[in-house]
Amino acid sequence: MLDTNIKQLETEEDVKKVITENENVMICCGRMGPMCIPVYGIMEELKKSFSHVKFHAQSFDIPGAMFIKKIPECSSFRGLPFTVYFKNGEVVAATTSIQTKEQVIEILEQKFKA
């Protein structure tokens, strides 16, 4: 388990359920490392102002993370975290490595207009 206040997904079924039952979903798949922790913090901070988006975290080192790891948009990623944005069950953006709050907000505003 990750030490974060973001709701965590543990299985591939959890991921599939959340992306099919919600219009806008951001999943950050990583570890408790220096590149991932800032992204979790940004997600925690943005939960209230982007209430139309479901924010989730997933540990990179569990079997359930294979779903995120195998997404074609993540195939060339080399750094953690893998952050994937889903709209109506489809990948609309995917990023790797550390992100700034401004970068995350730009994607959320572009892809998940309220």
> Is the model's pTM score more than 0.75?
yes
Ordered structural domains, the chain, with CATH: 7-111 (3.40.30.10)
Residues 25-44, buried b or exposed e (16+ Cβ, 10 A)? bbbbbbeeeeebbebbebbe
Q: Mind listing the pLDDT tens digit for each residue in 8-63?
A: 999 999 999 999 999 999 999 999 999 999 999 999 999 999 999 999 999 999 99
